[in-house]
Amino acid sequence: MSQSLLETPLLLETPLVGWHVAHGGRMVDFAGWRMPVQYASIVEEHLATRASAGMFDVSHMGRLTIGGPAAVEWLESLLTRKVAGIEVGRVRYTLVTSDADGQPVVLDDALVSRDTDAADGTMRLALVVNASNRDRVVAWLTSRLPGAGVTFADRTRETAMIAVQGPRAIQIVGSLCTPADAARIAGLGNYRATSAVVAGHAAAVSRTGYTGEDGVELVVDAHAATPVWEAIHAAGAPLGLRACGLGARDTLRLEAGMPLYGHELRENSDPFAIGLGLAVNLDGRSFPGASHYAALRKHHAGRVRVGLTFDSKRSAREGDVVMRGERHVGVVTSGSFAPTLGTAVAMAMVDRDVATAGTAVEGVIRESRQPAVVTPLPFYQRDKPGA
Amino acid sequence: MAADLKFAKTHEWVRPESGGVVTVGISSYAVEALTDLVFMQLPAVGRKVKAGESFGEIESVKAVSDLYAPISGEIVEVNSALPGKLETLGKDPYGEGWVARIKPDNPAEMDGLLDRTSYDALVGSQPH
C-alpha cells in the first residue's frame, strides 16, 4: 500500500494568511487554498456585514489578465457575455464554456471587465474566476490562444483581492483615499470599476460582491495586501466592520440567492433553468455551446432553481432530497441556517410544477422530513437608497 | 472543575451519579469548536445504545455532527430543554448543558475512557 510522503497536501496561501492565523482564523483547505472559514462566529460575521461591513480575503479567486490587439475578439469568441463593445470600467457576469462533442460544458462563472487601455492603446481585460476552476480555465483558455495578438497571464499569485461589503463599506474604503478617489468610488455604479489609491497603495476597485450588500472588491499587489487589509480593518472596526471567513461569505451569498459553482451551477447546467439567462447573450454569438444554448432557451424543460424556506433553524443540505407528498420533486444544492432571516433556507433544483412560490414541500434531512415552502429568490434584498 | 469526568475521544463527557446512572454531555472544547449551533436531536428515552454508536446529532451553521454514546446502556432521561436553549451548551457544558442520562450495561466501561488530563492533552495537540 502506498502512502503519501506528507500527511496533508501542500496548500496555496494568500498574502494575508499570517493575519488570518494571528487573528484566530480557523484555517481550512478550500479548493487547494488555506483559507479562514471563520474567526469566531459565522453568525456574528454575517450579521456585522449586513449591519455595518465585513471584509473578506478573496485572494484565492483566480485573476487573469488579457491584452494585445486581438484581446477583445478572442475573448468575445469564448465567453457567454459580449465582450465586444464593452466600455472601460464595465464589469460583466459571464459563463466560461467549452465544447465537448457539440455539448457545452460550463467550466466556470466569472466576472469579465475592461480596464483602462494599455499605454500602446490596446485594450486590457480582466477575468476573475473561481479558485476551484482556475487551473482548468487557464488550461482551456491557453489551449485556445491564437498564434499572435493576445497576451494572457494568470496574476493570481502576484496580487491579492479584498472584498469590503456592507452598508458602511464605501464609507470605510473612501476614508482611506484622497477625497477625489473617495468621491469616484462612491459614485461608481454597480458592476463598474475604477482605479484608486487605497491606504497608499494602487488598487483596482470594482462595485461588485457576493453578499447581497453594497460594497467593493479591491485588487492590489501581493506586497500591499497586508497593509491595505490592516488599514481597512482599523478604519472599519470602530464602525462595526468585522473580518469574515468563507463561512459567512457562503451564508451571505445564499441569502442573496447567488449561485455557487459546483452547487447551483455545474458543468451540464441549463443556464436558463437556474436563472442565469442574463449571463448568456446569444445575439449573433458563436462561443462554445452557443447553438445548444439557443435550443435550450426555448426548451423550458427540466428542473429549475428555487428557494426553500424551512420552518426551523435546521436546514436541508446539498444533496438532500425534496419531496412533495410521496413524490421526489427535487434536490437541494445549498442550504444553511440564514442568520439575517433567523430560519433555515436552501436553494434547490425542483420540478417545474412545484416551482411556484408558496408550494409546500419537505426536505429530507437524514431520516426526518422538514417542512419548507418554495420561496422566490433572493431571500434577502438590501434596502436601496431612494428605492 | 470537572475532575470526576471521563471523556470519549469523540468529545462527549461522562459523570457517574448516585443510583448507578451516568450523565453524558459535550465537552467545552467541542462546543467551542462547533460554534453557531442551530439544532440538536436528542436520543429517545428508553433507547439502548452501544458505546461509539451515534445517539443524536448537533448542527451548526457550517455542519452537522453526530453525538456518539460514550458508554453502552439505556437512555433513562434526556435534557429536553436543551434543544430549545442551545446557548446553555456554551455557558455550562458540564452542568445545565448536560445531554442525557444513561444506565450503563457495564459501569467498568468507564475505565476505557480518558481522564481529564489525557483528554486535555488530546485536544491540546489538535491543529487550530
Average pLDDT over residues A139-162: 97
Residue finishing a domain among A194, A222, A255: A255
CATH of region B6-124, choose from 3.40.640.10, 2.40.50.100, 3.40.50.970, 2.70.70.10: 2.40.50.100
Domain count, chain A: 3
The model's pLDDT over A107-119, given as tens digits with 9 standing for 90+, comes to 999 999 999 999 9
Write out the residue range of the structural domain in which residue A33 sits. Answer: 17-61+158-255
The model's pLDDT over B60-93, given as tens digits with 9 standing for 90+, comes to 998 899 999 999 999 999 999 999 999 999 999 9
Distances (CA, A) of A244 to A24, A33, A193, A212, A307: 11, 16, 23, 15, 25
What does the mean pLDDT of chain A come to? 95
Comparing CB atoms, the residue among A37, A337, A366 nearest residue B38 is A337
Cβ pair B62:A38 closer than 8 A: yes
**A93 and A138 both lie in a single domain:** yes
Percentage, residues of chain A above pLDDT 70: 97
A380 in a domain, yes or no?
A: no
Average pLDDT over residues A32-50: 97
A127 in a domain, yes or no?
A: yes
Q: Where do we find the cell 480555465?
A: A137
A330 touching B (Cβ < 8 Å): no
A178 touching B (Cβ < 8 Å): no
Q: Provide the pLDDT for residue B127.
A: 53
Residue finishing a domain among A255, A284, A316: A255
Average pLDDT over residues A135-157: 96
The model's pLDDT over A1-12, given as tens digits with 9 standing for 90+, comes to 445 566 666 899
**What is the CA A112 to chain-centroid distance, rounded?**
12
**A46 and A129 both lie in a single domain:** no
- B35 chain-A contacts, CB cut-off 8 A: 38, 40-42
Q: Provide the pLDDT for residue B3.
A: 59
Q: Where do we find the cell 455604479?
A: A189
**A184 and A119 both lie in a single domain:** no
Comparing CB atoms, the residue among B39, B62, B128 nearest residue A314 is B39
- A314 chain-B contacts, CB cut-off 8 A: 38-39, 59
A48 in a domain, yes or no?
A: yes
- B128 chain-A contacts, CB cut-off 8 A: 26
A286 in a domain, yes or no?
A: no
**A22 and A81 both lie in a single domain:** no
ipTM of the complex, rounded to two decimals? 0.85
Give the span between the Cα atoms of A15 and B63, in whole angstroms: 28
What does the mean pLDDT of chain B come to? 92
DSSP state letters, A46-84 = HHHHHHT-EEEE-TTSEEEEEESTTHHHHHHTTBSS--T
Please name the residues in contact with A132: beta carbons below 8 A apart, sequence gap of 6 or more.
A31, A32, A261, A262
**A23 and A99 both lie in a single domain:** no
Average pLDDT over residues A168-195: 98
A381 in a domain, yes or no?
A: no
**A55 and A73 both lie in a single domain:** no
The model's pLDDT over A325-366, given as tens digits with 9 standing for 90+, comes to 999 999 999 999 999 999 999 999 999 999 999 999 999 998
**A54 and A184 both lie in a single domain:** yes
Q: Provide the pLDDT for residue B128.
A: 45
Comparing CB atoms, the residue among A26, A251, A366 nearest residue B61 is A251
- Nearest chain B CA: its distance from A314 CA (Å): 6
Chain B residues near any Cβ of chain A (below 8 Å): 35-36, 38-39, 57, 59-62, 64, 128
The model's pLDDT over A267-312, given as tens digits with 9 standing for 90+, comes to 999 999 999 999 999 999 999 999 999 999 998 789 999 999 999 9
* Interhelix angle A42-51/A246-255, nearest 10 degrees: 60
**A55 and A86 both lie in a single domain:** no
Comparing CB atoms, the residue among A26, A247, A312 nearest residue B61 is A247
